Structure 1
Amino acid sequence: MVTKNALRAGTLTAGTTLTLLMSSPAFALTRDAGDDPGPGLSVGETLGLFVGLPLLAFLVIAGLVMALDKSTDRVKPEA
């Protein structure tokens, strides 16, 4: 007798396999009509775009949160 967990695992495996097969990178080899990809990015541009900008955005948001925080519960109690 097949249990529910075995059916669940089989369904998940089949779905994952089907998804991976359907999203194959081989579909990227065919150009669409009017496709104009343009020049590629250098290593520095890629790192700046995908590492530097998110890090900068995080630091700006964290700085704004700390600068605009008006709470007073950070006062150390006298011992």
Structure 2
Amino acid sequence: MDKKNAMRAGALAAGTTLMMLLMTSPALALTRDDGDDPGPGLSVAETLGLFVGIPLLLFAVITGLVMVLDKSHPSHRVTKPKQG
């Protein structure tokens, strides 16, 4: 009985995926819509700055703020064990 349910679930997942692929038509992306006015493309440096640099900068700022504004008691902080 377990194998039958697994086959049914697999067939349902495959059928759903196939229907989604058939309903989405990437060929329609080639035709312009009325009022469509794409801007100029981004260079490699602009793309890296936008999608890599800015997120890394935000991560660093948030991390720095958390470290600077940390108000926890020093005895509760996790530190390296002293080698002695």
Q: Give the TM bin, normalised by the shorter chain.
A: 0.7 to 0.9
Which region of structure 1 is more displaced relative to structure 2, 18-27 or 31-40? 18-27
User: Structure 2: which 5+ runs fail to align?
Assistant: none
Measured after TM superposition, the shift of residue 18 of structure 1 is 2.2
**Amino acid paired to 1:48:** G
Task: State the Cα distance separating 1:75 from its structure 2 match.
Answer: 7.3
Asked if 1:4 is matched to 2:5, the reply is yes
Amino acid in structure 1 at the alignment position of 2:58: A
CA change 1:36–1:71 in 2 (3 A) is same
1:30-41 matches, within 5 Å, as 30-41=31-42
1:34–1:3 distance in 2 versus 1, CA, 3 Å: same
Shift of 1:28: 1.1
Q: After the TM superposition, which parts of structure 1 deviate over 3 Å for at least 4 consecutive aligned residues?
A: none
Paired residue for 1:56? 57
Encode CA deviations 1:41-76: one digit per residue, 9 max, x unaligned.
000000000111111111111111111111111276
Percent identity over the alignment is 62
Count of matched residue pairs: 77
Change beyond 3 A, Cα 1:70–1:3: same
1:19 is displaced (CA, Å) by 2.0
State the TM-score, normalized to the length of structure 2.
0.77
Which ranges of structure 1 fall in alignment gaps of 5 or more residues?
A: none
Q: Residue type of the partner of 2:31?
A: T
One-letter amino acid matched to 2:33: D
